[in-house]
Structure 1
Amino acid sequence: MTVENETAESTDPAVSPLAHFGAEVRLERERLDISRAELGKAACCSYSLVAKIEAGRRVPPLDFAEACDQMFPHSNGRFARLWPLALRWAFPPWFRQYVELEWAATSLRMFHPQLLPGVVQTEAYARAVLQAGRPINLDDLVTARIERQRILEREQPTRLWLVLNEFVLRNTVGSKAVMHGQLSRLRDLARKPPHVVQIMPTGENNHLAASPFGVLSFSEGADVVHVDGFPRGYLLAETDDVAAANDAYDLLKAMATPPSESADMIDSILKDCYT
């Protein structure tokens, strides 16, 4: 997999998919004599966001791309097709391959000891987590993280099996209001097939895995393991590594509470800590 030249001018449509998407929107909008305000109204966003997307300075949500296809005759879904390339540009180069694999996966088994993983975070929780690193492109990072979650809602969703330490539910990120919204979403997810959520009670003293990791499975091909870490995560595809990750995940599932108890446990912590 090739990596784009990160030193290239990000606003040059020739080298940045994000800039290319914005330039195409602007050219089509101006050709049809549609104002930014009109496009913003159709896409349920502000004039300023349209301007930033056209300038290649903001990552467009999928809803924006779909609105462009509806507003611009004869686009034939072009902007929805360009959207994944524009979205990919928001991620750091080392994470882009993982995002592509995540999008193609049929199942995703994840363990997180300290935070909710990005694929289930609310926008407020994601913003609180990401802004801790003081990034200059916070809005793009939040948009990109939330858009990843479409894999759980599409017609053929990626099946998520999530194991969390109980600490994750009690670790206040942002504020009590942020956590109330986040745990409400997690509780609903725990009740929604085909997804599964399990909680590792604090009393279990889980010392098996200190780092977040996930096992991605596909309709064709072998499993791949992603290990999160600082300053960056990494992918593992060697047979022995994948086997070790699968064994570790099986043990984590066995140590955690049954899936049928997860929603009630989440709801109890939500009421005790965040109301």
Structure 2
Amino acid sequence: MSVESEHADPADPTVSPLAHFGAEVRLERERVGMSREDLGREAHCGYSLVAKIEAGKRVPVLEFAEACDRVFPHANGRFVRLWPLALRHAFPPWFRRYVDFERDATTIRTFESQVVPGLLQTPEYARALFRTGRPDSLDDLVTARMARQSLWARDSPPRAWFVLDEQALHRNIGGAEVMGCQLERLLKAGQEPRTVIQVVPRTVGAHPGLEGPFTILSFGQGPDVLYVDSFSEGRTVLDAAEVDAAAHAYDLLRSYALSPEASAEVIGTCLEELGP
């Protein structure tokens, strides 16, 4: 039985890193005689969220961990060190291995056919997208997705290449305001020197990406890693032949796509069509 079994008490600090994080927050808060309201003010959140984090029922954002290290005199940076382990709880078990690879990647090549790639999503877009599946842990899913984007804040962020079908730009996720902010985010990301965004126009018929979205990760040393998305769960692939086939398909996809400059024009046109 998994230590993260649905029948286990989430407040038990031995159940998971998330529960351990919450128990440590409660221990330090009580040690200094601080109320949950006071900690909430320091961490820019409410009493309810502090209570849920302490009970192991919510995944904290990085800013919460930083606030704990700041206000608890005996923390010594412990909560920021524990935070990545607690965050893993928000990812499905089958996705955690990929997240570890993604964090260490020096180059990321992604193809997406239906929606904006997760590493480029705004919080509002991600929330609207996740909400369609009516999950029990919507806030945790959004927190986890946004946390993955911390790799852009590294001193040396990965080189990234995103190819997406034009239809992903026209699918109005979350309404005009949410979609408008998302398209603006794409335009801004495309201006970053280490990021390339290309759009496969709707006029293209068959192309190698029709079988579904995928990502190829490369590293300073070692073989590439492939991630293939699907309906129920994705696959992290290390088999060299399958990774090579995906790399070949990606090269072909880039040949079908518009140039980065022309792609930005398509994104801008989609933004204008949303209206004021």
Report TM bin, short chain: over 0.9
Residue aligning to 2:203: 203
SS of alignment partner, residue 270 of structure 1: helix
8 Å Cα contact 1:111-1:214 kept in structure 2: yes
Residue number in structure 1 paired with 2:213: 212
Q: RMSD value over aligned CA atoms? A: 1.4
Q: Is the 8 A contact 2:207 2:256 kept in 1?
A: no
In the alignment, the residues of structure 2 paired with residue 80 and residue 111 of structure 1 have an alpha-carbon distance, to the nearest angstrom, of 32
* Alignment partners' CA distance in 2, 1:54 and 1:5: 16
Partner of 1:67: 67
Aligned to 2:240: 239
User: What residue number does 1:250 align with?
Assistant: 251
- The equivalent residue for 1:6 is 5
Output one character per residue of 1:78-109: Cα deviation in whole Å (capped at 9) or x when no partner. Answer: 10010011000011111111111111111110
Work out whether residues 104 and 219 of structure 2, in 8 Å CA contact, stay in contact via their aligned partners in 1. Answer: yes
Q: Indicate the SS of the match to 1:114.
A: coil
CA distance in 1, matches of 2:55, 2:165: 42
The correspondence of residues 108-257 of structure 1 with structure 2, limited to 5 A, is 108-210=108-210, 211-257=212-258
Do the aligned residues in 2 keep the contact of 1:188 with 1:263 (CA within 8 Å)?
no
SS of 2:164 mapped into structure 1: strand
Q: Distance in 2 between matches of 1:17 and 1:195?
A: 33
User: How many equivalent residue pairs?
Assistant: 273
Per the alignment, in what secondary structure is the counterpart of residue 90 of structure 2? coil
1:51 match: 51
Shift of 1:151: 1.0
Secondary structure of 2:203 counterpart: helix
User: After superposition, what is the alpha-carbon deviation per residue over 1:187-228, rounded to whole angstroms, capped at 9, x for unaligned?
Assistant: 110111211111111112243122000001112211000000
1:97 aligned partner = 97
Question: What letter is aligned with 1:39?
Answer: L
Letter in structure 1 aligned against 2:203: G
Q: What code does the residue aligned with 1:82 have?
A: L
Output the amino acid matched with 1:6. S
Cα distance in 2 for residues equivalent to 1:170 and 1:42:
41
> Which structure 1 residue ranges, 5 or more long, are not aligned?
none
After TM superposition, the structure 1 stretch with the greater mean CA deviation from structure 2, 28-37 or 222-231, is: 28-37
Contact map agreement 2:4 2:16 (CA 8 A) in 1? no
SS of match in other structure, 1:203: coil
- Mapped contact 2:69–2:75 kept (Cα < 8 A): yes
Deviations 1:136-173 (A, max 9, x none): 11111111111111112222212221001010001111
1:35 paired residue number: 35
| TM-score, L = length of structure 2 | 0.95
CA distance in 2, matches of 1:165, 1:153: 27
* 178 and 44 in structure 1: CA distance in 2 versus 1, 3 angstrom threshold: same
Name the CA distance, whole Å, in 1 between partners of 2:133 and 2:56. Answer: 23
Contact 2:11 2:54 (8 Å CA) reproduced: no
**Cα distance in structure 2, aligned partners of 1:54 and 1:259:** 46
TM-score (norm. length: structure 1): 0.95
The Cα shift of 1:267 comes to 1.3
- SS of 1:204's equivalent in the other structure is coil
Output the CA distance in 2 between the equivalents of 1:84 and 1:77. 13
Distance 1:254 1:54, change over 3 A: same
Please give the secondary structure, in 1, of the residue aligned with 2:80: helix
Gaps of 5+ in 2: none
Displacement of 1:5 after TM fit? 4.5
The worse-fitting range, judged by mean Cα deviation, of 263-272 and 107-116 is 263-272
Contact 1:18 1:86 (8 Å CA) reproduced = yes
**Cα distance between partner residues in 2 of 1:206 and 1:41:** 54
Over 3 Å counting, the alpha-carbon distance change for 1:146 and 1:9 in structure 2 is: same
Say whether the 8 Å CA contact 1:177–1:274 is kept in structure 2.
no
Q: Within 2, Cα distance between the matches of 1:79 and 1:5?
A: 21
